Chain A
Amino acid sequence: MIGFLFSLVAVLVLVGIALVGVGGLGLKVLFGVIIPYAAVLTFFAGLVYRVVDWARSPVPFRIPTTCGQEKSLAWIKPNKIDNPCSTGAVVLRMVLEVLTFRSLFRNMKLDYREGPKIRYSSEKFLWLFAIMFHWAFLVVIIRHMRFFTEPIALWLQTLEHLDGFMEVNLASFGVGLPTIQLSGLVLLGGVTLLLLRRIVIPTVRYISLAADWFPLFLITGICLTGILARYVVRVDVVKVKEMAMGLATFHPVVPDGISVWFYIHFFLVCVLFAYFPFSKLMHLAGVFLSPTRNLVNNSRAVRHVNPWSYPVKTHDYHEYEDDFREQMVEAGLPVEKTLEEAEAEKTAKETPAAPETQETEEKREE
């Protein structure tokens, strides 16, 4: 539980830093320009560093986890996705893994109960929450591109339109509330559910570390402050966009009159960016590199080369025959050298005695 508390406190402290930094000390340039650039730089540099670092370790063996029939005899139907037999199949396997979390989904398929009652187990929730969370996160990130582009691309507008599902309904109240964006709510829901799951299920709680709690709290914080800034505090979107465009075009400006809540939100996002490459969040890139998923299962058809392979000491046939020649001859087994040849060679070379062999529980010696 120490990890839980530490992470919660850490995120609260981060909120405090932004609150004091901007609200109290007015360090707008620091929080609006310097930290964001540093965070983004850290993010990209770190991301590249980590991926390169992984890639520097080779894949010495071809070890895909096969989850279906291999391609063997012509008349046996192979399972191309779960036991990929070509690069195309691997791509499909990876696409399904990355976009639909196929391996997690496998859990759902497997939950098998007696009787007609349908109940949901923790694994189903895991897949559902994970899908909710990741897809909503993606939409939210894409949606935020509106701040950094001018003019706003048509597809982005379409996405926003689709996302803003309650537009009409709310407008009819005449409150003038900004369009409710579905993705933000789903993201908040997803992260909350993932958090609750980690708290409620004892096995998952048991395996959780600070590194698991911290990103969850951080993202919760980002969601909450984002929603707060948009719907409650109603930060000046035009000024925010001005600032964002400044950052994007490398002509940073810090307009006045942007609420401190925006800065808190922005700071937490920066922390997430900077933290990302050094955390488990790197699974985003790691999943593409996983040797049990991204390799073709064709190691018997095509030779896979191990770059650091080195010669090893073996006990070759000739040493073996030297150890047992007499018994082999007696048993009528063919030999490379007859006893006489071997004897002659031995006296010529004065070879040392053969190494002792492991005697086993063999009972009869005739």
Chain B
Amino acid sequence: MHPTERAEPTGAIKMKLKTLLAKHKTALVARWVDSIVETYPPETAKFLKNKKDQFQNPVGHTIVAETKNLFDQVLEGVDREKATPFLDRIIRVRAIQEFTPSQALSFVFSMKYIIREIVGPEIDTEALDQELVDLEASLDFMALVAFDIYMSCREQVLDIRAKEVQQNAYLLLRRANLLVEKPGPRPEDS
């Protein structure tokens, strides 16, 4: 089966690794937040991390809140339905910022390195290699979902651009019968 057609969530990771990751959750999530925030210039990064007001720092607030949710998804097994809103909130921002697609999405993969960096030694000592492979597969799946979201955001930008042109000259187009769809009942137009 093609990985993106996975209807079921990726299997929940095994107990031992899960316990291990849960134990290090704070550190792992913090590093994950850092890895995203560090894709911005350092002056901005500090602002994104430190300013806690959700209204005055929507980007930082989103990153902090959603990485936590995504991490729980990693522990539970990635479910497309459930992971989408969390991923969407982060990617929706990055899709319109000054990032290439790979830069915008690299944060999903960086979790792999973060896990190896922080709990790597313990994985080795407890021989959890196979469990780690499963975990990485589910992160790969998350990356694929992320890619879909990124593309849909970009497509939406294109759609909006086209729609806006119509809206800005709405009446002129309507008077000229050039609108594709006419809102509301206008019997004399048809």
**A–B direct contact (CB < 8 Å):** yes
Q: How far is A182 from B178 in the complex, measured between Cα atoms in Å?
A: 77
Question: Does B102 make an interface contact (CB < 8 A)?
Answer: no
Cβ-neighbour of B172 out of A121, A122, A362 (below 8 A): A362
Asked if A363 CB lies within 8 Å of chain B CBs, one says yes
Contact B172 A361 (CB under 8 A): yes
Residue in contact with B53 in the complex, picked from A112, A122, A362, A363, CB distance below 8 Å: A112
Instruction: Answer yes or no: A24 CB below 8 A from chain B CBs.
Output: no
When A363-B173, A363-B176 are in contact, do A202 and B52 touch as well, CB less than 8 Å? no
Contact assessment for B53 and A203 in the assembled complex, using a CB-CB cutoff below 8 Å: no
Query: Which residue of the partner chain, among A113, A201, A364, contacts B52 with CB atoms under 8 Å?
Result: A113
A110 within 8 A of B: yes
| Interface membership of A308, Cβ < 8 A | no
Contact of A203 among B47, B169, B173 (CB under 8 A): B47
Nearest CB on B from A319, distance (A): 25
Given contacts A201-B46, A202-B46, A361-B169, contact A121 B176 (CB under 8 A): no
Give the number of chain A interface residues (Cβ < 8 Å): 16
- Asked if A330 is at the interface (CB within 8 A of a chain B CB), the reply is no
A-B contact count (CB 8 A): 36
Task: Give every chain B residue within 8 A of A363 (Cβ-Cβ).
Answer: 172-173, 175-176, 178
Shortest CB–CB separation between residue A197 and chain B, in angstroms? Answer: 13
What's the least CB distance linking B48 to chain A, in Å? Answer: 11
B4 contact set on A, CB distance < 8 A: none
- For chain A, residues 311 to 366, give those with C-beta under 8 angstroms from any C-beta of chain B: 361-364
Closest to B52 in A: A113
**In contact, B176 and A364 (Cβ under 8 angstroms):** yes
A114 part of interface (Cβ distance < 8 Å): yes
List residues of chain B with CB within 8 A of the CB of A362: 172
Contact A122 B50 (CB under 8 A): yes
Cα distance A270–B42 in the bound complex, in angstroms: 39
Least distance between A164 CB and chain B CB atoms (Å):
39
The residues of B that contact A203 with a CB separation of less than 8 Å are 43-44, 46-47
Q: How far is the CA of A362 from the CA of B169 in the complex (A)?
A: 9
Contacts of B42 in A (CB 8 A): 202
- In the complex, chain B residues 141-184 whose Cβ is within 8 Å of any chain A Cβ: 169, 172-173, 175-176, 178
A-B residue pairs, 10 tightest by C-beta: A363-B176, A364-B176, A202-B46, A206-B43, A203-B43, A202-B43, A112-B53, A113-B52, A202-B42, A364-B175
What are 25 pairs between A and B in contact, CB < 8 Å?
Answer: A110-B56, A111-B53, A112-B53, A112-B55, A112-B56, A113-B52, A113-B53, A114-B52, A114-B54, A119-B52, A121-B51, A201-B46, A202-B42, A202-B43, A203-B43, A203-B46, A206-B43, A361-B172, A362-B172, A363-B172, A363-B173, A363-B176, A363-B178, A364-B172, A364-B176
List residues of B whose CB falls within 8 A of some A CB: 42-47, 50-56, 169, 172-173, 175-176, 178
